Chain A
Amino acid sequence: MSSLVALPILIPLVAAALMLVVRNLFAQRAISFVALLSSLATATAVLVDVWNTGDIAVSRLGGWPGSFAITLVSDGLSSVLVVVALVVTTTVLLFAVGQQTPDEHSPYYHPVYMALVAGISQAFLAGDLFNLFVAFEVLLMASYVLLTLEGNRAQIRSGTTYVVLNIIESVVLVMAVGLIFAATGTVSFAELPERIAALPDGVRMGLHLLLLVAFGIKAAVFPLFSWLPDSYPTAPSSASAVFAGLLTKVGVYCLIRVQTLLFPGELSNVVMIVGVSTMAIGVLGAISQHDMKRILSFHIISQIGYMVFGLGIGGAVAIAATIFYLIHHIPVKTSLFLVEGIIERNTGSSSLDDVSGLARKSPLLAVLFLIPAMSLAGFPPLSGFLAKFALVRGGLSAEQYIGVGVAIVVSLLTLVSMVKIWVGAFWGEVAPTSLINSVGVLRQHRSMATATAILVGFTLVIAVAAGPLYEFASRASDQLLNIERYISAVRSAS
């Protein structure tokens, strides 16, 4: 199995290289899909193996011994996230192809998209801090291009904010990596826990805070989130769907690694307070907005707060809930952005003032919106309810009553703002100004609708398979908390 671990990184990269040579649009689309589906197949094989055996799959690049090799580590958390990421990126690509917009027709769209996928996979699989940094750079470079590919005024303006903020994040991260190397003499995840534990308290806390700030910017937690609602809404719909679903979650994944592997249980109060304030402030921001993309962007922040809150509580139950939340949130958020993309493609606007009466025009689209929206708000029996329920249970067992109270209020407020979109865009008379033509919204954009439907179906599968999935999440969380297991798996790998 260990030989398959590297493939979700390698295949997209090979595809990207190939597409720089082959520049025919149809060939590029075919290569992209083949690459994504074959990566998905290998990632699924690794996941099944990890699921069945409970082992940690390790691949040493170059076959070098000890800490000389670049290690890729696929434990429960990593393997499931790679699979979810590939499912989401594949469906979004289908959506982008169906969208027929200038950005997808650019000869750089497909190679850059593949580089983004490779960066995301690498971030989830990296077995040391430096390669994690490299993965971040790869996915950030790709995201810069995707964000500004159309090159219009609004995109360049918000792209500038995005680039500057992310460069600051990269500088903080590379400083943290450098200082950690200076203090401990290693960057490997398998060697760091022991050596960090031996550091003096002050140094340890400083390094920890640096990492928290770096990944906190990436994950858009309070108070480091201001770049997100500014930049995501201007991106092309397909790009913003991937960014919304995946990029901030890479930050959350890194926070999980920091809090469980490198600095287990330290500063958890800080993390918890940050998580609680993130969910509250995010949702308040969302309620005050009047544009669908901006509402949804603020909800990303609010939802990140839930995961960070779970991480702050710590312990097997809460971390399992965080992992389950992560798995549920990625497809739900992405599908909401895709629905918004369809609306925007049809009406030319994402403002609630310009759009109304969509439920009458296209009942199916309304259903496609309603399922993930209710899931986001935590309605039973959808996946969001189960994720929130698990989190609340974790919070109660750790006696974090204030945080749990805030979480419940926030999820009511989430419902309020989802209802706001519902009432504004889907109910009411068909707005005379809207450009919807009478053919029916979905019949016109079959592959966009199919992509969205697949993703919504995927969220329903998560809800139906919640039992086994939650069990897997608990096992993944046990794996995370058992640092010795991680270390010995990396050491014993050949």
Chain B
Amino acid sequence: MIKSKILEELIDRWLTKVGTLVAIFITFRGHNAPGGGFAGGLILGAVFVLQYLAGQQPTIRRKPILNPERLLGLGLLLALVTTATPLFVGGAPLESYIWSITLPQIGKVKIVSSTFFDFGVFFVVVAVVLMVLTFLGTRGGAISHEPTDGAG
């Protein structure tokens, strides 16, 4: 495979960083404007697809602790915990709470609990893109449990 050094540099230096920032911006923006976790996740996913097309492994794959399945689980968990938490304080599932806090220098900041849900969705979407890049075309049977003690 011929790798284009310039393309690689360009993507690594610019697109990855700018794309990640845009993705996070879009995710935060989603509360009151078009955007949100799903759109943000797709943008970051597109960044990984570009990296992949440029002949690199998507960055997250280099860190084994964040393998895509785990990321998928953590994202789903984050979204579901946000869904279920209101039940413990007497609300309805998925109910959203808003807190305002005043930070020094920055001023008034509004924190919305549904942002956590959005980030859960964000991670799920990113993980799905990564899993598509990793597993599409491999044999399903080749994937098995990480070594467990005598599970058999």
Distance from A385 Cβ to chain B, minimum over Cβ atoms (Å): 42
Residues of B within 8 A of A26 (CB): 148, 151
* Pairwise interchain contact B80-A17, C-beta atoms closer than 8 A: yes
- Known A-B contacts A18-B73, A25-B151, A63-B95; A107 and B144 likewise in contact (beta carbons under 8 Å): yes
- Known A-B contacts A3-B87, A17-B73, A20-B73; A105 and B80 likewise in contact (beta carbons under 8 Å): no
* Chain A CB within 8 A of B110 CB: no
Q: Which of A3, A62, A108 contacts B94 (CB 8 A)?
A: A62
Residues of A within 8 A of B80 (CB): 10, 13-14, 17
* Chain A CB within 8 A of B7 CB: no
- Known A-B contacts A20-B70, A21-B70, A23-B145; A6 and B151 likewise in contact (beta carbons under 8 Å): no
Contacting B at CB under 8 A, from A202-232, are: none
* Chain A CB within 8 A of B83 CB: yes
Residues 49-89 of chain B: 1 if any A CB is under 8 Å from the residue's CB, otherwise 0?
A: 00000000000000000000110111011001101101100
In the bound assembly, the distance between CA atoms of A351 and B145 in angstroms comes to: 33
* Pairwise interchain contact B94-A106, C-beta atoms closer than 8 A: no
Contacting B at CB under 8 A, from A3-39, are: 3, 6, 10, 13-14, 16-21, 23-26
In the bound assembly, the distance between CA atoms of A24 and B83 in angstroms comes to: 26
* Pairwise interchain contact A105-B76, C-beta atoms closer than 8 A: no
In the bound assembly, the distance between CA atoms of A111 and B73 in angstroms comes to: 10
Residues of B within 8 A of A6 (CB): 87, 93
In the bound assembly, the distance between CA atoms of A149 and B139 in angstroms comes to: 11
* Chain A CB within 8 A of B137 CB: no
* Pairwise interchain contact A61-B92, C-beta atoms closer than 8 A: yes
Closest to A19 in B: B73
* Chain B CB within 8 A of A74 CB: no
* Pairwise interchain contact B73-A10, C-beta atoms closer than 8 A: no
* Pairwise interchain contact B73-A21, C-beta atoms closer than 8 A: yes
Residues of B within 8 A of A100 (CB): 152
Contacting B at CB under 8 A, from A419-445, are: none
- Known A-B contacts A13-B76, A14-B77, A151-B140; A59 and B145 likewise in contact (beta carbons under 8 Å): no
Distance from A316 Cβ to chain B, minimum over Cβ atoms (Å): 33
Distance from B88 Cβ to chain A, minimum over Cβ atoms (Å): 10
How many chain A residues touch B (CB < 8 A): the figure is: 32
- Known A-B contacts A23-B146, A25-B145, A106-B143; A62 and B69 likewise in contact (beta carbons under 8 Å): no
Distance from B15 Cβ to chain A, minimum over Cβ atoms (Å): 29
Contacting B at CB under 8 A, from A99-124, are: 100, 105-108, 111
- Known A-B contacts A13-B80, A106-B145, A151-B141; A62 and B73 likewise in contact (beta carbons under 8 Å): no
Residues of A within 8 A of B92 (CB): 3, 59-63, 69
Q: Which of B84, B91, B95, B139 contacts A10 (CB 8 A)?
A: B84
* Chain A CB within 8 A of B134 CB: no
In the bound assembly, the distance between CA atoms of A106 and B81 in angstroms comes to: 26
Residues of A within 8 A of B70 (CB): 20-21
Distance from A326 Cβ to chain B, minimum over Cβ atoms (Å): 27
* Pairwise interchain contact A10-B76, C-beta atoms closer than 8 A: no
Closest to A9 in B: B93
* Pairwise interchain contact B91-A14, C-beta atoms closer than 8 A: no
Q: Which of B95, B140, B141 contacts A62 (CB 8 A)?
A: B95
* Pairwise interchain contact A105-B145, C-beta atoms closer than 8 A: yes
In the bound assembly, the distance between CA atoms of A3 and B16 in angstroms comes to: 43
In the bound assembly, the distance between CA atoms of A19 and B69 in angstroms comes to: 10
Contacting A at CB under 8 A, from B116-149, are: 139-141, 143-146, 148
Residues 56-69 of chain A: 1 if any B CB is under 8 Å from the residue's CB, otherwise 0?
A: 00011111000001
In the bound assembly, the distance between CA atoms of A16 and B141 in angstroms comes to: 21
7 smallest A-B Cβ distances: which pairs? A20-B73, A17-B76, A63-B92, A21-B73, A25-B151, A17-B77, A62-B94
Interface CB pairs A-B, < 8 A, 12: A3-B92, A6-B87, A13-B76, A21-B73, A21-B77, A24-B146, A63-B86, A63-B91, A63-B92, A105-B145, A106-B145, A151-B141
Interface residues of A (CB under 8 A from B): 3, 6, 10, 13-14, 16-21, 23-26, 59-63, 69-70, 100, 105-108, 111, 148-151
Given A17-B80, A149-B140, A151-B139, 15 extra CB contacts under 8 A: A10-B80, A10-B83, A10-B84, A13-B76, A17-B73, A17-B76, A20-B73, A23-B69, A24-B146, A60-B92, A61-B93, A105-B144, A105-B145, A106-B144, A107-B143
